[in-house]
């Protein structure tokens, strides 16, 4: 109800976009998790401002497995924490040595929140990304894109593509200025991971990579993961008819979010940002990367995700569907549900599938 009231308030009294040219990427009432550049519980994190002219930023999740065994910090007791800080250059945390650094794949993650809330450093998103980084043995780069209504479409989509271009520069010693990525990131093994509305951003970025081709070298998107995507269409589905007014994130709240995200003269459930199967939306589906779609049984948008997955399979794109019973929208990423068996199983299932595309052995894993 608080979210619904907030959205209705923004629609009645829109914020002055001219007063905040940079945009916003988080809400003051939503708790965030501080970054920790030293390896705690096997993960080091760091925040980077990608675009000085906007609020666009990323949080990097670097698993300790990126370090050679001889370079990994030994477990310390609480009494030895100060010693651990000293080893990791105090507040600066881990600094790559530049020699024999292990390269890891990149997972570019886009958080959920219905365009208007959520952040890449929220408590829930931080915990989820740490889980994925550990399970997948990959560097997770969580994107703090600009939120609506301060920054309407296509701001969030443009931010996603801008970060992908930025990642390409980080892989080069002469152009990269982020030492963790210069030392450890392998941009030729890049996976897009979108949560809720973040799945819409991921799918847009995947389409743009197909269109841009070698212009994005050395970045290569090898797969994408769409978790309960925020897809809509004019034609109601069975899940929409059955579940539109049940559970949180009901249809009324979601439509308010879309009204705040899309420019007034563009609002339509057939908008390319909302419907990936809208007519004349390019490129051809057969050119899309392998796509894993996660859906929840009690999510009114479930059938839209299922339909997209089916259309991809029709044109021979590897596009499995993971359909979890007794679950709701964002069941694997909401803070209150992160430790449920379904959330833990979902993260493990994602990593089993994605390792087929990011493993150096290529055929080492099978789904």
Give CA–CA dist 63/74, Å, rounded.
Answer: 15
Beta sheet of 139-144, edge-to-edge order = 43-49, 57-63, 139-144, 104-110, 185-195, 221-227, 291-296, 321-324
Reduced to 3 DSSP states, what percent helix, strand and coil does the chain have, rounded to the nearest 5?
40, 15, 45
Cα-flanking dihedrals φ and ψ of residue 9, to 5°?
-65, -40
* Residue 15: Cβ-neighbour burial (10 angstroms; 0-12, 13-18, 19+): middle
Give CA–CA dist 194/196, Å, rounded.
Answer: 7
Q: Which are the catalytic amino acids? A: 196, 299, 329
User: Which token pair is 197?
Assistant: 């509305």
Cα-flanking dihedrals φ and ψ of residue 244, to 5°?
-55, -30
Angstrom CA distances, 268 to 234, 263, 273, stand at 8, 10, 10
């Amino acid at each position: 109800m608080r979210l619904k009231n907030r959205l209705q308030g923004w629609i009645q009294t829109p914020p002055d976009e001219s007063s905040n040219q940079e945009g916003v990427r988080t809400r003051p009432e939503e708790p965030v998790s501080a970054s920790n550049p030293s390896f705690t519980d096997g993960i080091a994190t760091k925040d980077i401002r990608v675009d000085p002219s906007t609020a666009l930023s990323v949080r990097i999740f670097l698993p300790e497995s990126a370090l050679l065994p001889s370079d990994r910090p030994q477990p310390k007791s609480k009494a030895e924490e100060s010693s651990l800080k000293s080893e990791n250059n105090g507040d600066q945390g881990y600094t790559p040595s530049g020699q024999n650094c292990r390269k890891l794949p990149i997972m570019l993650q886009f958080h959920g929140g219905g365009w208007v809330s959520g952040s890449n450093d929220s408590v829930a998103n931080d915990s989820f990304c740490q889980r994925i980084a550990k399970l997948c043995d990959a560097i997770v780069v969580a994107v703090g894109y600009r939120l609506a209504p301060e920054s309407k479409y296509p701001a969030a989509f443009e931010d996603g593509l801008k970060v992908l271009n930025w990642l390409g520069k980080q892989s080069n010693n002469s152009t990269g200025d982020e030492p963790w990525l210069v030392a450890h990131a392998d941009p030729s093994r890049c996976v897009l991971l979108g949560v809720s509305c973040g799945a819409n951003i991921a799918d847009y970025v995947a389409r743009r990579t197909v269109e841009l081709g070698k212009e994005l070298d050395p970045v290569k998107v090898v797969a994408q993961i769409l978790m309960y995507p925020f897809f809509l269409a004019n034609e109601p589905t069975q899940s929409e008819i059955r579940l539109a007014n049940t559970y949180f994130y009901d249809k009324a709240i979601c439509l308010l979010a879309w009204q705040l995200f899309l420019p007034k003269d563009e609002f339509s459930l057939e908008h390319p940002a909302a419907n990936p199967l809208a007519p004349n939306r390019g490129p051809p589906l057969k050119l899309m990367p392998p796509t894993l779609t996660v859906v929840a049984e009690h999510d009114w948008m479930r059938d839209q995700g299922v339909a997209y997955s089916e259309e991809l399979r029709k044109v021979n794109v590897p596009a499995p569907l993971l359909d979890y019973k007794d679950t709701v929208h964002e069941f694997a990423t909401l803070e209150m549900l992160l430790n449920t068996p379904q959330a833990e199983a979902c993260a493990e299932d994602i990593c089993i599938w994605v390792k087929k595309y990011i493993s150096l052995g290529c055929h080492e894993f099978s789904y």
